[in-house]
Amino acid sequence: MNKLTQTDAWISLEHHAPLVKRQHMRDMFKTDPLRAEKYSLHAAGLFLDYSKNRVSADVLDDLYALANERLLPAKIKAMFSGEKINTSEGRAVLHTALRNFSGKPVMFDGKDVMPEVMETLQKVKAFTQAIHNKTHRGYTGKAIKKVVAIGIGGSFLGPKIVTQALKPCKVAALEVVFVANVDGCHIADVLAQCSAHDTLFVMSSKSFSTQETLQNALSAKAWFLAQGAGKKDIAKHFVAVSSNVAKAVEFGMAESNIFPMADWVGGRYSLWSAIGLPISLALGYDHFEALLKGAHEMDCHFQEAPLAQNMPVIMAMLGIWYRNFMGAQSHALLPYYHYLRGFPAYVQQLDMESNGKATTLKGKAVDHGTGPIIWGGEGTNAQHSFFQLIHQSNMPIPCDFLFPVKVPYLDQAQQQTHHDMLASNCFGQTQALMQGKTFEQCYKELANTGLSEKEMQTLAAHKTMPGNNPSNTLIFDELNPASLGALIALYEHKVFVQGCIWDLNSFDQWGVELGKDLGNKVLDMIQGRMNIDGADASTQALIKRFKQAK
């Protein structure tokens, strides 16, 4: 395979870029009345309008040609069929098997993984039902009212944003809260609101060796015993999700209370596994299964649709265009739905931990840009905060706007008005970003204001909006478990496609290891198990300052 930057499609895209930079989307819409229709599609309950992007038909053709030159269809097949595409860790990448409701086997190392997947799902279902119908009770016979889910990174963010986004589906009798940070004030705050009699702790850690999770679980266990419960009561109140069952047992978990997960599930792709147990507990197993089925629908679309009609591929290739040819360094996610406010943080982890790399699969340094900075916030709040920069800075920032057409509370007074306003802000912003406002328009508006000519020129310059800022608009009928599953799978596949184009391993995360390692050494220094002399002068001084003050 040719080097990415030497492929025919790449070279052709390099030629298009200066031309497209001189074109304005205003004119693209004027010259092509069918643009919105042409550049939009439905898939798995989601509607994507990508017409407000700085692309011509030629650019799109070249982007799909680039995907073909990088053998994308074969790479999609390789992932779904259990090849060990996570080469640096020698692992397959089979999160799609966790939501495979096709009835077809998924082979890995000569064995169908589906019986094991279904068995774990059944265990999640049975446990959820036992909590909900109160057959599993606390050590004093009280029903479980609260779940504290302990985990971090991929073992936390997915379940947290899903339960937040699907709040209207919540099982009323059960409160599920999440603790991730090793900062003790979080677990202390949470425990202060718990009663040992009716609280269940779910400890989620694929490796069962993550410092934050182990420490938070130890604190939770110590608190539980300090409330008057005995060691024998722990089994009723502590369960774990892990692929390292031996370590979980060593930690003190009863083996029957451990929900297994396979080695071929990456942390940030694991909410579909038993890591999703807090989702099932919070929303009910049926909603969890509906989430998986929605994701499966997107998986089918991703595998079957031609590249030019394939939603994850379209979004990924547009991202490649902006990152590699139009100078974009970041990508903003803007959910116009309060319950989906956690989605930018979720995609931030998914995308930046997957593609925040600069080494190819063969271990060579890349000679092109890779994963962008992902950021964002909920509309309309963000409009009154960072939108100024998107509208008027000279940095190109592609944006994704997300919006549910229906929301579950429209029967309440005034709610339709709220939702109409939300829609108008969402669509209005994409319009403003695209069309901008010319100097001439701004200047004209200042006529008869009593300003001098010079003042009018200056003020008009400040008010001018360049426009030409690209955006995708993703609309779904309502945010239910199925559409949320499809939405998350859409972004997973977008990230995968970009990793394929950039020749990255999107499924390892070596970059986080050094910090963990040095952090452990510094802890040894702080707690007197290691001499500080080996550390650099700055770190030594920081440790000394901390030790003196504490």
As annotated, the active-site residues are 353, 384, 516
Give the nearest distance from C-beta 353 to ligand F6P in angstroms.
Answer: 6
Give the nearest distance from C-beta 334 to ligand F6P in angstroms.
Answer: 25
Which range touches ligand F6P (CB under 6 A), out of 103-111, 147-155, 459-467, 475-483? 147-155
Q: Answer whether 348's CB lies under 8 Å from 370's CB.
A: no
- Give the number of residues written for the chain: 550
Compute CA 401 distance to the chain's CA centroid, rounded to the nearest angstrom: 15
Residue 505 near ligand F6P by CB under 6 A: no
First to last CA, the chain: 58
Q: Which DSSP category does 412 fall into?
A: S
Q: Which of 100, 120, 164, 210 binds ligand F6P (CB under 6 A)?
A: 210
**Residue 424 φ/ψ, nearest 5 degrees:** -65, -35
Helix (H, G, I), strand (E, B) or coil at 55: coil
**Nearer residue to ligand F6P within complex by CB, 197 or 268:** 268
Give the nearest distance from C-beta 271 to ligand F6P in angstroms.
Answer: 10
Cross-strand bridge partners of residue 202: 149, 239
Residue 267 near ligand F6P by CB under 6 A: yes
Cis peptide before 380 (omega within 30 of 0): yes
Q: Which residue is nearest to ligand F6P (CB)?
A: 267
**Nearer residue to ligand F6P within complex by CB, 100 or 216:** 216
Which range touches ligand F6P (CB under 6 A), out of 5-13, 75-83, 150-158, 219-227? 150-158
Give the nearest distance from C-beta 268 to ligand F6P in angstroms.
Answer: 6
C-alpha dist (Å) from residue 505 to 154, 246, 496: 17, 29, 9
Q: Answer whether 530's CB lies under 8 Å from 540's CB.
A: no
Residue 216 near ligand F6P by CB under 6 A: no
Q: Answer whether 239's CB lies under 8 Å from 202's CB.
A: yes
Question: How far apart (Å, rounded) are the C-alpha atoms in residues 80 and 517?
Answer: 33
Q: Answer whether 196's CB lies under 8 Å from 230's CB.
A: no
Residue 152 near ligand F6P by CB under 6 A: yes
Q: Which DSSP category does 437 fall into?
A: B
Give the nearest distance from C-beta 31 to ligand F6P in angstroms.
Answer: 47
Q: Which of 206, 296, 331, 493 binds ligand F6P (CB under 6 A)?
A: 206
Cross-strand bridge partners of residue 402: 335, 474
Q: Answer whether 150's CB lies under 8 Å from 194's CB.
A: no
C-alpha dist (Å) from residue 415 to 359, 419, 425, 480: 50, 6, 15, 18
Give the nearest distance from C-beta 275 to ligand F6P in angstroms.
Answer: 8
**Nearer residue to ligand F6P within complex by CB, 99 or 206:** 206
Residue 371 near ligand F6P by CB under 6 A: no
List the interface residues with ligand F6P, window 506-535 (CB under 6 A). 509, 512
Q: Which of 45, 138, 153, 319 binds ligand F6P (CB under 6 A)?
A: 153
Which range touches ligand F6P (CB under 6 A), out of 25-33, 203-211, 224-232, 362-370? 203-211
Which residues, 6 or more positions from 357, have their beta carbon under 8 angstroms from its beta carbon? Answer: 370, 371, 504, 505, 511
Element (H, E) at 350: helix 343-355
Q: Which of 86, 96, 163, 205 binds ligand F6P (CB under 6 A)?
A: 205
Q: Answer whether 150's CB lies under 8 Å from 213's CB.
A: yes
Give the nearest distance from C-beta 156 to ligand F6P in angstroms.
Answer: 8
Which range touches ligand F6P (CB under 6 A), out of 8-16, 204-212, 282-290, 499-507? 204-212
List the interface residues with ligand F6P, window 375-434 (CB under 6 A). none
Structure tokens, 295: 């994701």
Q: Which of 100, 128, 155, 163 binds ligand F6P (CB under 6 A)?
A: 155
Site string for ligand F6P, 351-370 (x = CB under 6 A): --x-----------------
The strand pair at 199-204 and 146-150 is best described as parallel
**Nearer residue to ligand F6P within complex by CB, 426 or 488:** 488
Q: 295: closest CA among 46, 104, 10, 8?
A: 46
Give the nearest distance from C-beta 382 to ligand F6P in angstroms.
Answer: 27
Q: Is the dihedral of CA 226, 231, 236, 237 positive or negative?
A: positive
Residue 268 near ligand F6P by CB under 6 A: yes
Which range touches ligand F6P (CB under 6 A), out of 67-75, 199-207, 292-300, 314-322? 199-207
Which range touches ligand F6P (CB under 6 A), out of 64-72, 81-89, 148-156, 297-305? 148-156
3-state SS record for 203-263: EECCCCCCHHHHHHHHHHHHHHHHCCCCHHHHHHHEEEEECCHHHHHHHCCCHHHEEECCC
Interface residues with ligand F6P (CB under 6 A) are 152-155, 205-207, 210, 213, 267-268, 353, 509, 512
